[in-house]
Amino acid sequence: MTDQLEAPAIDGSSNETTQILIVDDDAHIRKALTILLKIPGCETLEAEDGLEALQIMESRPGIPLVISDIMMPNIDGLELCRRLKSDDTTRDVYFIMLTAKEGVKERVQGLEIGADDYVQKPFDSHELRARVKAGLRIVGLQDELKTKNRILHQLSITDGLTGAYNHSYFQRAFEKEFERARRYGRDLSLLVCDIDNFKGFNDTYGHGTGDEVLTNVARIVRSITRDSDIVARYGGEEFAVLIPETPLETAYQVADKIRRAIAESPLVLEDSRLDITISIGAACFSGTNFGSRTTFFNSADSALYKAKHEGKNRVVCV
């Protein structure tokens, strides 16, 4: 019992305490386990049956490892395991069963309902600590994977240059929001925005400057819209903004605020100043006024075309 265990970081930060929940109706066993599991970076909690364990798991979310007896009053170890593994918030908890030597049937049952490992009673202290250590290692790896998946997902829906959502994410969001607006008769506004004379910037000042223009415009659009609005880079210099639960008048105000903010934020280069303007077409779907997403989008797009035609740097509503 002299080996020092190092608890792996559960959420990527190394100074967080990892909690281990010990569940047993025998106070002596809980005490023995508490002493055994004095691991640097770890804190143990105790519950005397499955019911108390569930209460603790609920009130202190994020406990990564449970070591539990099987035979207990109220809720036994198998039922505790089953409930933790069938709940989305606790499904990834590493569950170690403490079973009697002759408890083959319980062990098999436990593994079948999702327990990750078992230790036989009376337990060998070295084995127990080694298994807990292995469990924490797996939990740490799982957590790393989850973080990486989150990052990958974020990358897969984002436009790399501007940080706005990309075209394919926009399409999915548009489909979802359109259906929701149709089903519940809610307002869904759409802005189709296009930076004026963008090709000229690229041709005259180079693509680096063109990228800066795009990034600035995206930043301004995102700063003016709400978190619940969807700002996407639709194409080259075109952005689409979905504004749920919003009538056309309000969408127009948002669009004009965007237009003014962009016109008032020139891009300052070493020896010149680039005035940037944007044209916006706005439309609102109220559940019945457009037959499909395509006609809805096209009408906002025609309004944009009209804004361009009428002299740019303006908002036209359908």
> Token digits for 271?
């020896």
Tell which residue, 193, 284, 287, 265, has the closest CA to residue 235.
Answer: 193
Contact status: 52 vs Mg ion (CB under 5 A): no
Among 9, 42, 71, 157, binds Mg ion (CB under 5 A): 71
Kindly indicate which of the ranges 22-30, 49-57, 184-192, 284-292 contains the residues binding Mg ion, using the contact rule CB under 5 A. Answer: 22-30
Q: Residue 130 CB, nearest distance to Mg ion (Å)?
A: 23
Give the span between the Cα atoms of 121 and 103, in whole angstroms: 10
Q: Which is nearer to Mg ion, 25 or 212 (CB)?
A: 25
Among 48, 49, 52, 69, binds Mg ion (CB under 5 A): 69
Kindly indicate which of the ranges 11-19, 61-69, 106-114, 244-252 contains the residues binding Mg ion, using the contact rule CB under 5 A. Answer: 61-69
Q: Which is nearer to Mg ion, 25 or 196 (CB)?
A: 25
Q: Residue 177 CB, nearest distance to Mg ion (Å)?
A: 53
Q: Residue 44 CB, nearest distance to Mg ion (Å)?
A: 18
Contact status: 177 vs Mg ion (CB under 5 A): no
Q: Residue 43 CB, nearest distance to Mg ion (Å)?
A: 23
Contact status: 25 vs Mg ion (CB under 5 A): yes
Q: Which is nearer to Mg ion, 23 or 217 (CB)?
A: 23
Give the span between the Cα atoms of 315 and 318, in whole angstroms: 10
> Token digits for 67?
């070591």
Pairing of β 230-235 and β 238-244: antiparallel
> Token digits for 257?
């605020």
Contact status: 49 vs Mg ion (CB under 5 A): no
Q: How far is CA 16 from CA 130, 141, 310, in A?
A: 21, 16, 60
Tell which residue, 316, 172, 162, has the closest CA to residue 251.
Answer: 316
Residue nearest to Mg ion (CB): 71
| Binding residue count for Mg ion, defined by CB under 5 A | 4
Burial class (CB in 10 A: 0-12, 13-18, 19+), 266: middle
Are 30 and 46 in contact by the 8 Å Cβ rule? The answer is: yes
Contact status: 32 vs Mg ion (CB under 5 A): no
Contact status: 194 vs Mg ion (CB under 5 A): no
Q: How far is CA 188 from CA 181, 222, 234, 263, 314, in A?
A: 6, 18, 18, 26, 21
Contact status: 100 vs Mg ion (CB under 5 A): no
> Token digits for 17?
């305490």
Catalytic residues: 237
Q: Which is nearer to Mg ion, 54 or 190 (CB)?
A: 54
- Helix H segments across 89-124? 104-112
Kindly indicate which of the ranges 70-78, 168-176, 211-219, 220-228 contains the residues binding Mg ion, using the contact rule CB under 5 A. Answer: 70-78
Q: Could you give the angle at the alpha carbon of 84 between the alpha carbons of 78 and 86, nearest 5°?
A: 100
Q: Which is nearer to Mg ion, 45 or 71 (CB)?
A: 71
Q: Which is nearer to Mg ion, 32 or 71 (CB)?
A: 71
Residues lying near Mg ion in the complex (CB under 5 A) are found at: 25, 69, 71-72
